[in-house]
Amino acid sequence: MVLSKVGTIRLVLHRPLEGTPKSCTLRRSSTGKRYVSFSCEVPEPTLLPTNALQVGIDIGLTTSATLSPGPNGEAIDNPRFLRTDEKELAKVQRKFAKTEKGTPERRKRRKPVARVHERIAFRRDNFANQTARRIVNRFGFIAIEDLEVNRMVHNHCLAKSISDASWSLFFTLLFFKAESAGRRIVKVNPAYTSQQCHRCGHRQKMPLSERIYWCECRKGEWGRDHNASLNVLALGRQGLGGNSVEAAAL
């Protein structure tokens, strides 16, 4: 590839270019890797076939997300990438901290720390992309909680776990892919979705430690996250004129 004012460079294409290239951006990561990002002019994308399936999504930390369909919901496991590599990260950080500031040895020890962080970021991005794509391909209507993640990470007890779950990245990718595929996606108020029965509307206190919702009025029980996802779907369906939550849990 030949770039103006740069010359000829060799590159490995991540995937074939689509459309007409208009510009490119060169970037160097903290681990020394160099990337080229192309901006291309492409025609209107072909939309995926729309289906009538609807889903409410409850975001969490025990599970990454819980989908409303099915008698018990569908749980998407939380991979916890930072927790998985925490020991290795602590090891390279200790070696880095022991070196004297401003020395060549310290610059050398900085790269292994950056490499671990880079690997964690790659895994998060890949997981969020694949999860969002599967949801968009499967459902025509998506209701999701309108969480203020920037405020939630101020809780020092949960900040690390919330950041590791990468909720903001998942929301961004889900909305982008849904709009590109012609899906309808809405945000709903998350208040009391975990404390309210999705059938009768009875509300009761639910500490985070309680994972089963037991309704005293209807004498029924559901998983905490599944009950919340059904409430999210019900709130999302209000704008569509639907009243029955159970009819939407296809």
Q: Which one from 41, 86, 88, 225 is the annotated catalytic residue?
A: 225
Residues 60/225, Cβ–Cβ less than 8 Å = yes
Q: Which one from 58, 88, 118, 221 is the annotated catalytic residue?
A: 58
225 carries an active-site annotation? yes
CA pair distance 28, 36, nearest whole angstrom: 9
Reduced to 3 states (helix: H, G, I; strand: E, B; else coil), residue 215 is strand
Q: 175 is written with which tokens?
A: 């909305």
Q: 3 is written with which tokens?
A: 């770039």
* Residue 8 CB coordination number (10 Å): 7
Q: 74: number of CA atoms within 13 Å, CB side?
A: 12
58 carries an active-site annotation? yes
18 carries an active-site annotation? no
Phi and psi at 97, nearest 5°, equal: -70, -25
Residues 6+ apart with CB under 8 A from 115: 31
CA pair distance 39, 49, nearest whole angstrom: 27
Q: Which one from 86, 100, 118, 145 is the annotated catalytic residue?
A: 145
- Termini Cα distance of the chain: 50
CB < 8 Å & 24+ apart, contacts of 98-102: none
Q: Could you give the residue numbers annotated as active site?
A: 58, 145, 225
